[in-house]
Structure 1
Amino acid sequence: MTISATVALWFLPFVLPICLYVAYTDMALMKITNKAVILLGLIFVVLGFFLMPFDSYLWRLAALLIVLAVGVILNAAGVLGAGDAKFAAAAAPYVALGDLRLLMSLFMVILLAAVVAHKGAKYSPLRRMAPEWVSWEQTKKFPMGLALGPTLAIYLILGALYGA
């Protein structure tokens, strides 16, 4: 992996709770809150400044802006939700460019697992544990936070374990 193990280890304890919160709120409310997205971005801005070479830090911030622009376009086209676009943009700086292929593969696997788990729980007795969740009633929308949050969390865990 291209990400530094030290950098991933520093980010992980701050980012992991946010990733879990995003997965939960997207299932329960079909919303990824602005507070979570802003906090995720601020953590990178503050810690990244101290953890990375300045030129790398700036390129990663540029990735945030690029992903945000693409997300706004995709949201306007109705392809994904605004919260999904904002979370992806706030998560982008955490990913080393050399790990992009790995991240996309990881996301595909986690998305498939999330869809299977969500649909399986929706049509099983597990649904009674959280009967008020908005995502159960959705027919055309899926709580992408259930895949986006764990993807970033698992990427950082793998980075902490196997990073450069």
Structure 2
Amino acid sequence: MISPTAAATLLPFALLVGFWVSWSDLKFMKIPNQASLVMLAVWIVVGILVVPLKLWALGLGLAAAVLVVTFLLNAIGAIGGGDAKFAAAMAPAFIHANITMLCMIYIACSLGALAAHRLLKYIPPFRRATPDWKSWTHKGFPFGTTLSATLIFYLLAVVSPLF
């Protein structure tokens, strides 16, 4: 697991990119390639300053492995291409993560994002404020919201003294 200091350093960048990814996925049902590249660049530039070199390099290896697996998932239609690229770009932050904690965060974020999206879809003032969001009528779910939330809540959990 990365240190609390490293997580705290990466968190502001993850928040900015995470909000960008979530908004874009909700509005356009697309995650911009630039967002994934920025997230990976954060690991390359900032990560090397706050994570031991061996963990930093392993993080890049994890990103490559996740990219291969998620591209295979994309090829069979299980996930979108933007989701695959963003998952790979954020993967280095999870190097040596407590897998149980990470899975619990992922499940909670998945359920929370799905419930919030489905609920807000039927609240007239919110719907009027966001009439052009493709996610309201698209058959798929804007999974970038789940991915972003998982990254942010994981980093918050690492920073927290409870873990």
TM normalised by structure 2 equals: 0.94
Higher relative contact order by CA 8 Å / sep ≥ 6: 1 or 2?
1
Q: Which amino acid aligns with 1:128?
A: R
What pairs with 1:2-41 in structure 2 (closer than 5 Å)? Answer: 2-41=1-40
Aligned match of 2:107 = 108
Aligned match of 2:64 = 65
Aligned match of 2:55 = 56
Instruction: Show structure 2 runs of 5+ residues with no match.
Output: none
Q: Which secondary structure does the structure 2 equivalent of 1:97 belong to?
A: coil
| Cα 1:163/1:13, change in 2 over 3 Å | farther
Runs of 4+ in 1 over 4 A off after TM superposition: none
Aligned match of 2:91 = 92
Aligned match of 2:131 = 131
Q: How many angstroms apart in 2 are the aligned matches of 1:138 and 1:67?
A: 26
User: How many residue pairs get matched?
Assistant: 162
How large is the RMSD of aligned CA atoms in angstroms?
Answer: 1.4
Q: Which amino acid aligns with 1:137?
A: T
88-97 or 63-72, which deviates more: 88-97
Q: How many angstroms apart in 1 are the aligned matches of 2:58 and 2:145?
A: 27
Answer whether contact 1:3 1:99 (CA < 8 A) is retained: no
Q: CA deviation at 1:98?
A: 3.3
| Cα 1:163/1:35, change in 2 over 3 Å | farther
Q: Which amino acid aligns with 1:138?
A: H
Deviations 1:26-75 (A, max 9, x none): 00000110111000000101112121221111111100000000010000
TM normalised by structure 1 equals: 0.94
Instruction: Show structure 1 runs of 5+ residues with no match.
Output: none
Q: How many angstroms apart in 2 are the aligned matches of 1:39 and 1:62?
A: 17
| Cα 1:122/1:137, change in 2 over 3 Å | same
